[in-house]
Chain A
Amino acid sequence: MAGNFSQRAEAGAAASQLPTPYSDLRVFELSGDPASEALGKLMATMGADVIKVELPEGAASRHIGPTATGARDGDPDASLNFWFYNVSKRSVVIDYRTADGMARLRDLLRRADIVITGWRPSDWAALGVSPDDLRTDAPQLIVANLSPFGLDGPWADLVSSDLVGLALGGPLNSCGYDDHAIPPIRPGGDQGYQLTASFGHLGVLLALLERHQTGHGQIVDVAMHDCLSVSAELANPYWFYPRVLVHRQTCRHAQPTATQPALFATADDRYVYFALITAEQKPWQSLVSWMESKRLVADLTDPAYADPAYRLAHFAHIQQIVEVFFLLQPAGEIYRDGQQRGLPIGVLNAPEDLPLDEHLTARGFFVPVDDDAPGGPHLYPGAPIRFSALAAAPITRAPRLGEHTTEVLGGAA
């Protein structure tokens, strides 16, 4: 096992005496789409002062469910969608559609490091400002604009969504079922937006490093479409090199031609992921000895199977026996036993399984957060990045609409 890194990091984080990576940064977040909000969240959980600037009606994300149990209809402060993407931020209300509001916002940006926007060229035009304008009195400012298609190009003003973005950008073409009468299926969460947020974060970091050398901020233009077009893993390289297309398969890699299923049903009506590969000797022996230990090895101990060529010729038979082997055991046991034998098997956890996972618990990954829902505190996912010399910021509940207006603006909004 690896050294004492994590004890050290956990002890440090618990004591909260370590600095956070972004403790010196002030970020204003002007948009309410998941890409912008996820970027703001990444920065807030790493210690930046992220101030969400909302219009009086509140960010669009406040009006998307699910809501906390017992909330009244239309409560802008009860959306779990909003809570998920906006922990550890502050909220101020400024109506920057008005000249006064815009002047007030630009005044704030003079003392800001980063502003996160999410607008198409036509949206900027409607507001009567450009990304350059925001930097006129604020040369230090980094403008990170995360939009569907970017700030220029023939599609720059088209409209999109997570589903539409994943379709046009390519990843969706690789996702779905073996049965191609079923359309491609969008992977869950908001992954088109999440990939955009990840590139937005990298863009902000590179701009910060550049600013450290030059003293100047700049515009960072991130398009969801660009991000997704390079995020389908093997699909582009298969086109670049052998010039072939990949075809979607159920819960396993899209490939030029069909491969064996990798999803196995288990005794408790769950699934495990296991790519049965018979070519290599060591994993094959691990699998057979495991099956033998459960007395479910059937004929696979026959010496003929010691030969990879024989295994390849009888692959379908092996696959069937392995299917039965998994079908007779609960998923959690398969996961543990297989991994302990060095086989890369994954259990398909549902979200409710995760807070119970012994490994995540030992690492203290989920953290209790005092939110506005009854019965709290509730568990939220913790920071995914750990440093020995730095700590993530404590996660605090998402702000209520305009909760910090007075604190930030010092009076009338």
Chain B
Amino acid sequence: MYADDQRRPRPRRGPLAGIRVADFCWMGVGSVATRLLADFGAEVIKIEDRTRIDTPRKLPLYKGESARNFGEEVVGADPDKGGLFNNYCRNKLGVTINMRAAEGRRLAERLIAASSVVTENFAPGVMERWGLSYERIRELRPDVIYARMSGYGHSGPHASYRSYGPVVQAVSGLSYISGLPGKEPSGWGLSYMDNQAAFYNSAAILMAIRHRALTGEGTEIDVSAVETGIGLLGPVLLDVTVNGRVTRGDGYPTGNRLEHPDGAPHGIYPARGEDRWVAIAVFTDEEWERFADAIGRPEWTLDRRFATQHSRWENQDALDEQVAAWTVRMDRYEVTKLLQDAGVRAGAVQNAEDLNEADPQLEHRGVFFEMDHPVIGEARFEGVPIRFAQTRADNWRSGPLLGEDNEFVFTELLGIGADEYAELASTGVI
């Protein structure tokens, strides 16, 4: 069944051991949401469709190959060598089911009946087209938790609107509130909301699991990524709804400067080297004194305009010019060390190489780890950044090959006989 016995699923450890998840999730949000469940012991069975391969399998993040932007997919590439998929689907089992076939839908129902959590992040209506309404799923498993993740939620006039991270960030306001005054928004250079919506979805599922453990009752869950994003806008939202502020045409947003509190210097300053930067944040007079001492009290620190926290904040153009003239001659880590030694908030802008190869704190904390993959070879992973005194993540296997666990799941877990299994395979149901 498994060429390498190490790939064979074994009993899982952790607070979610014993919970089986029929996981219809794909793309970023859903896969990240269910990854946490798999990391802590749930038996997450990812259901894929061979005719509609999960996008992270296709994005060209390939080990040992040259750089391609993520839109530059390679036609006919091996779906098992996609690095992003491996990153998102570690610790999960993988099966394939053709949901367009009636036999496939029947098989999915058998899997659901043998699971206690069902997860999905399709556009609203897709699961219903397959007959998988909450009502139906509850018939199959009365105490089921049915977690539904979407951009806009499962009701309302825009429920069927299409979204992915950048669209969610735009619609929720997160993009608009990010940028320099008088310029187009700089927004986000990543699908932040694929992460945050995923974490809210993971939390919702854990809440439901806890509720079921206490009461025996299941639930349907509806999380809208846009609504999650609005909840993350911060105090400016109440400035608008309570004070009636209008942010458009208002010198807003303020880039790296703050409206509140009156932090200054508060910015990203150039350091020696190409595109090297360092963050500095000073919030009080006491911190300013330490900052001035640390940089050797140059003449300009005595400028009357910089005498108090508020006057520094009011004169940030002049202040930032002086600070930048100091930082630009220094290495970004030199600035970090010098200021942190003086108790001043400062930190280099680090990239992925810095984090993975040279960050002593992350190394100490063991945030990243490695696991072997049959096609990719050794691969590095982003661990769950939570350190428990007792609980441990159970990292047992890298991401599943396409359909790798079909035989195990369908014959051993569901008890399908050899003949029927062969039939499912030969007729393209799996």
Contacts and interface: CB of A to CB of B under 8 A. Distances in A.
A6 B261 CA distance: 40
B350 A237 contact: no
Interface string B220-246: 111110111011111111111111111
Contacts of B87: 236-237, 240
Contacts of B383: 230
Interface in B140-167: 148, 152-167
A240 B385 contact: no
A344 B167 contact: yes
Contacts of A380: 238, 241
Contacts of B224: 363, 384
Given A66-B260, A198-B203, A167 B268 contact: yes
Given A195-B196, A384-B227, A351 B222 contact: no
A20 B149 CA distance: 20
Interface residues of B, number: 168
Interface in A162-190: 163-177, 180, 182-190
A255 B349 CA distance: 17
Given A185-B186, A272-B170, A218 B390 contact: yes
A209 interface: yes
Interface stretch (B102-110, B356-364, B415-423): B356-364
A326 to B, nearest CB: 13
Contact of B184 (A236, A245, A263): A263
A389 B235 CA distance: 31
B267 A66 contact: no
Contacts of B154: 2-3, 5-6
A208 interface: yes
Given A234-B70, A351-B237, A389 B219 contact: yes
Contacts of A346: 163, 166-171, 175
B413 interface: no
Interface in A186-217: 186-191, 194-195, 198-203, 205-210, 212-214, 216
B385 A222 contact: yes
A147 to B, nearest CB: 11
A1 B125 contact: yes
A164 B190 CA distance: 18
B403 interface: no
B5 interface: no
A167 B349 contact: yes
Contact of B382 (A80, A230, A251, A360): A230
A318 interface: no
B230 A161 contact: no
A81 B89 CA distance: 38
A358 B382 contact: no
Given A205-B210, A210-B390, A351-B177, A163 B279 contact: yes
Contacts of B242: 68-69, 80, 83, 371, 373, 376, 378
Interface stretch (A49-57, A93-101, A103-111, A150-158): A150-158
A89 interface: no
Interface in A10-49: 10, 19, 21-22, 24, 34, 42, 46
Given A173-B349, A189-B174, A389-B218, A229 B210 contact: no
B345 A349 contact: no
A265 interface: yes
A124 to B, nearest CB: 15
B186 A175 contact: yes
B155 A241 contact: no
Contacts of B97: none
B401 interface: no
Nearest to B199: A198
A161 B356 contact: no
Contact of B62 (A153, A241, A373): A241
B187 A84 contact: no
B269 interface: yes
Contacts of A194: 196, 232
A44 to B, nearest CB: 13
Residue among B148, B172, B227, B255 with the highest chain A CB neighbour number at 10 A = B227
Contacts of B61: 234, 237-238, 240-242
26 contacts: A3-B133, A66-B236, A83-B242, A152-B365, A163-B267, A167-B279, A167-B347, A175-B178, A183-B256, A183-B268, A187-B178, A189-B234, A210-B388, A218-B391, A219-B389, A230-B385, A233-B190, A234-B84, A242-B66, A253-B191, A349-B170, A352-B245, A352-B247, A353-B173, A359-B157, A362-B156
Q: Shortest 4 CB-CB distances between A and B: which pairs?
A: A6-B155, A346-B170, A188-B177, A241-B83
